[in-house]
């Protein structure tokens, strides 16, 4: 399958998940003119125009980070508990990070006016506190086993400094732990981010 990505963007979560699960993948970058690294018009692949975008071997295209992460987990049988409450906690954490954190990074990506940034900082601080509480002293967000929620969390934590909101200790610890994992080191290197 092809993962269409920008270096360091939220597609990093899917990239880490692909490496962790051992599924085979090809990385295809896109440029700012929405041209793919293999010379195609990105909008004709994903009219939404954003990454991550996953192209399956039969040409089917999947979009939306939460869905792509779920697909990787289902396909590999890894990074998502098969049943029980922990499965729902993983999906809950993904939805929370997508709607309450990722979308609140927009003012910092696009340089919105300061009052909007300040409002976003307040909401982000609350959301980080909730995740830190959930993390507690566990190794990963939901349990002591890594899940797709941790792949997304790592990207969320990479971007956090752009907002100027300080990370609670449990999240700073998670970031240090995650960035030392072989899958994360490899994903960053493959995206040219060393
Ligand atoms: N709803 C999408 C949002 C993905 C998204 O915001 N991707 C950003 C990169 S992190 C993007 O492609 N931005 C390019 C643009 O908005 O033109 C998802 O959850 O996958």
Domain boundaries defined on the chain: 2-77+183-190, 85-181
Omega of the bond prior to 173 within 30 degrees of 0, cis? no
User: What class is the 85-181 domain?
Assistant: mainly alpha
CA of 155 to the centre of ligand 1 (A): 13
Pocket test for ligand 1, best of 10, 33, 62, 148 (most atoms within 8 A of CB): 10
> Which of these, 158, 103, 151, 111, lies nearest to 127 by C-alpha position?
103
- In ligand 1, which atom is closest to the CA atom of 63? 20
CATH architecture under which domain 2-77+183-190 falls: 3-Layer(aba) Sandwich (3.40)
Taking the C-alpha atoms of residue 90 and residue 129, their distance in angstroms, rounded to an integer, is 17
The tens place of each residue's pLDDT in the chain, 194 residues long, gives: 999 999 999 999 999 999 999 999 999 999 999 999 999 999 999 999 999 999 999 999 999 999 999 999 999 999 999 999 999 999 999 999 999 999 999 999 998 999 999 999 999 999 999 999 999 999 999 999 999 999 999 999 999 999 999 999 999 999 999 999 999 999 999 999 97
- Looking at the whole model, is its pTM more than 0.85? yes
CA of 64 to the centre of ligand 1 (A): 8
């Amino acid at each position: 399958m092809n993962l269409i990505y920008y270096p360091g963007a939220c597609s990093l979560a899917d990239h880490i998940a692909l490496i962790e699960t051992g599924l085979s993948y090809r990385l295809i970058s896109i440029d700012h003119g929405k041209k793919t690294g293999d010379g195609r018009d990105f909008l004709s692949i994903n009219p939404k125009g954003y990454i991550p975008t996953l192209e399956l071997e039969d040409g089917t295209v999947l979009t939306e980070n939460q869905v792509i992460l779920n697909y990787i987990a289902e396909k590999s049988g890894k990074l998502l508990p098969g049943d029980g409450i922990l499965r729902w906690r993983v999906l809950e954490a993904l939805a929370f990070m997508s709607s309450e954190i990722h979308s609140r990074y927009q003012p910092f990506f696009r340089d919105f006016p300061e009052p909007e940034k300040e409002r976003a900082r307040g909401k982000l601080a609350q959301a980080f506190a909730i995740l830190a509480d959930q993390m507690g002293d566990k190794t990963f967000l939901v349990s002591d086993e890594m899940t797709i929620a941790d792949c997304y969390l790592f990207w969320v934590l990479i971007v956090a400094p752009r907002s100027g909101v300080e990370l609670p200790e449990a999240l700073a610890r998670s970031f240090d732990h995650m960035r030392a994992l072989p899958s994360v080191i490899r994903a960053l290197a493959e995206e040219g981010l060393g």
